[in-house]
């Protein structure tokens, strides 16, 4: 007998705002899309990028105003999935930032503890997990062209937001 995917527990790195959603959703990245991380980009400069400090400072970013406005304007029948390669250990800072900035979201997916895959692989795996759970991404917003290409290759239209981080 087949198991209903909706009855399976969500992965531990998924955080629902008010309970599970299903059907068509819109996906947003955080850093460089909703969150302006320019003031912490220097932490990633060679020769030794400091990812720990970079992520620890994530709660202080301003919202990218135009993308925040776009997020608010999306029809409410589309739940919002925030899919970020931020590590799960900074979930409290991320949730605080979302709350302080009154940003709309229904599901926050962060990189799980011990996951050191590239962001592209993490996000591609998550897109498959979303679909297996009955959650269908119909549009995504990304600032990393590798992730844009990945979404498009998986049949998910993706809008490229130029953050300047990947030039």
CATH number at residue 125: 3.40.50.1000
- Asked, for residue 11, whether it belongs to a domain, the answer is no
- Asked, for residue 5, whether it belongs to a domain, the answer is no
- Asked, for residue 13, whether it belongs to a domain, the answer is no
Mean pLDDT of the chain: 93
- Asked, for residue 6, whether it belongs to a domain, the answer is no
- Asked, for residue 14, whether it belongs to a domain, the answer is no
- Asked, for residue 9, whether it belongs to a domain, the answer is no
- Asked, for residue 167, whether it belongs to a domain, the answer is no
Confidence of residue 9 (pLDDT cuts 50, 70, 90): confident
Q: Which domain holds residue 48?
A: 23-160
CA distances from 143 to 6, 9, 27, 104, 120 (A): 31, 30, 12, 19, 12
> Mean per-residue pLDDT for 81-87?
97
CA distances from 70 to 26, 37, 65 (A): 12, 18, 9
In the chain, the number of structural domains is 1
- pLDDT at position 2 is 43
**pTM confidence score:** 0.93
- pLDDT at position 134 is 97
Q: Per-residue pLDDT tens for 117-162?
A: 999 999 999 999 999 999 999 999 999 999 999 999 999 999 999 9
- Asked, for residue 10, whether it belongs to a domain, the answer is no
CA nearest to 166, candidates 149, 150, 145, 152? 145
């Amino acid at each position: 007998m087949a198991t209903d995917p909706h009855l399976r527990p969500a992965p531990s790195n998924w955080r629902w705002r008010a309970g599970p959603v299903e059907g068509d959703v819109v996906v947003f990245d955080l850093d460089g899309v909703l969150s302006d991380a320019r003031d912490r980009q220097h932490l990633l400069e060679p020769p030794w990028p400091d990812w720990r400090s970079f992520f620890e400072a994530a709660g202080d970013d301003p919202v990218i105003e135009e993308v925040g406005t776009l997020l608010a304007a999306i029809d409410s029948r589309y739940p919002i999935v925030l899919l970020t390669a931020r590590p799960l250990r900074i979930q409290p800072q991320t949730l605080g930032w979302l709350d302080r900035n009154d940003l709309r979201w229904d599901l926050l997916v962060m990189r799980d503890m011990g996951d050191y895959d590239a962001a592209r692989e993490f996000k591609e795996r998550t897109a498959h997990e979303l679909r297996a759970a009955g959650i269908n991404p119909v549009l995504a917003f990304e600032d990393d062209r590798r992730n844009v290409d990945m979404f498009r290759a998986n049949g998910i239209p993706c809008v490229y937001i130029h953050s300047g981080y990947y030039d």
